[in-house]
């Protein structure tokens, strides 16, 4: 695991981030199976919006090999935990599938969770812009 400061500006817009966003870091990690991933803190408002999107996608999309993304990625320990390990962490792979839906499906899903397609896409693009180091 290693921690890197998030990108402070987007080359396409030349917009510079300031305030608390300026001090935000992303934690990249590699697992034993060779996969790479990252953890990025997001604001409460963005988290709630993306959590509702994740729950809607979880119900609507067919899952790979019939595996529920919420349960097959959960960590299983022999000892009892004090907290729910996979709560408050969003599944980026599932969220990015929203961008590959048809326009009608996107608008229907956005209407169902009470926001706009543009706002959801902007939230996902902000995550991408903050972590686009490579």
User: What are the structural domain ranges in the chain?
Assistant: 2-131
- Predicted TM-score (pTM) of the model is 0.77
Whole-number pLDDT of residue 85 = 54
Structure tokens at 84: 């729910």
User: How many CB atoms neighbour CB 114 within 10 A?
Assistant: 8
Whole-angstrom distance, CA of residue 27 vs CA of residue 128? 14
- Give the ranges where the chain is alpha helix by DSSP (H): 44-60, 69-72, 92-96, 103-113, 117-131
Q: Helix 117-131 and helix 44-60: axis angle, to 10°?
A: 110
pLDDT digits (tens, 9 = 90+) for 53-111: 999 998 888 877 777 776 766 666 677 665 655 568 888 989 999 999 999 999 999 99
- CATH assignment, 2-131: 1.10.150.910
Helix (H, G, I), strand (E, B) or coil at 55: helix
């Amino acid at each position: 695991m290693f921690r890197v400061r998030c990108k402070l500006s987007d080359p396409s817009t030349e917009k510079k981030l300031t305030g608390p966003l300026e001090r935000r870091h992303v934690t990249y990690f590699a697992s034993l199976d060779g996969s790479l991933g990252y953890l990025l803190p997001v604001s409460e408002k963005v988290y709630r919006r993306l959590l509702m999107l994740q729950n809607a996608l979880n119900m609507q999309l067919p899952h790979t090999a019939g595996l529920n993304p919420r349960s097959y990625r959960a960590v299983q320990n022999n000892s009892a935990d004090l907290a729910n390990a996979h709560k408050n962490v969003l599944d980026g792979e599932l969220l990015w599938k929203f961008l590959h839906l048809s326009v009608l499906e996107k608008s229907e899903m956005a209407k169902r969770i009470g926001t706009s397609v543009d706002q959801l896409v902007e939230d996902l693009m902000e995550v991408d812009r903050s972590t686009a180091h490579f």
